[in-house]
Amino acid sequence: MPTHTPDRTSQSPVDDVGAGEPALLLVPGWCGDRTVFANLAARLGASRRTLSTDLRGHGALRHQTEDFGAATAVDDLVDLLDAGGVRRVVPVALSHAGWMAVELRRRLGPDQVPGIVLVDWMVLGPPPGFADALAGLQGPAWRDVRGALTEMWTSGLDLPELDAYVASMCEYGQEHWGRAGREIAAGFAEGRTPLGLLSELDRPPGTLHLYAQPDDDGHLAAQEAFAQAHPWFTVNRLRARSHFPMLEVPDQMAGLIERFTGSLA
């Protein structure tokens, strides 16, 4: 399938393609828009209904300037599903949008949200120093922290589409990056981890983690060990190198997501 050129001038905050449920809801991370999913959504939409959305204040909704938090973003996702008549949905959440996917499952329950796909997230918890970076995003040195993050995401990778997307993220200012630091820190507060929080649910959802970074066999082994003890969790390290693997391997991701979603039925 050819590469789809993202349209960042679109006035609609939602792309809705395909048919069939469970539908897929693609949710970008903080300080990014839904164009990161353009190639992946085109492939997923060939098999089932696929919605990709901007968070409020992002992308086609950049005119919204009031402050908000992750809980409000989940309110928006619930409204989107209601308006679209979506009865069963699998969120596909990039990075720290995973907290929104977990909360969506908690609110709507297992019948409406039978599974979750997490993309390149810190499912076992944040690495050392990450809390300091989040605090830095909320302070006067936020540009330096943002620069360090974007350098980490692009260094050593000759991927024009990745460079363009990361550059679009840098168009957002301190208000957005500070909010991201605040909300991500709140998610990890009190030592919470994504897999720990999912484990506490009455019926943990089928959960698929697709990731490329870090390229560390020990990190993969730890997730595989968790999967052995918790059959509802599955992990797959992708044939990609960046924090945004959908820009590199949309075909591989689409195949894995479709297989996982089909198994939920």
Record the tokens describing residue 168, joined without a space. 């679009």
Amino acid at 73: A
Q: How far apart are CA 245 and CA 140, in angstroms?
A: 31
* Residue whose C-alpha is closest to residue 259's, from 60, 5, 24: 24
Q: Catalytic residue, from 58, 176, 209, 243: name it.
A: 243
What is the number of alpha carbons within 13 Å of residue 252 lying toward its C-beta? 14
Question: What is the residue-wise DSSP string for 63-101?
Answer: T--S---HHHHHHHHHHHHHHTT--SEEEEEEGGGHHHH
Q: How far apart are CA 98 and CA 34, in angstroms?
A: 15
Q: Strands, DSSP E only, in the chain?
A: 14-17, 23-27, 50-53, 89-94, 115-119, 206-211, 233-237
The residues, any chain, with a CB within 8 Å of residue 220's CB and separated by 6 or more, are 235, 237
H or E stretch at 168 = helix 160-169
63 a catalytic residue: no
* Residue whose C-alpha is closest to residue 212's, from 236, 241, 189: 241
Q: How far apart are CA 86 and CA 113, in angstroms?
A: 10
Record the tokens describing residue 246, joined without a space. 């959908």
Q: What residues are annotated to the active site? A: 243
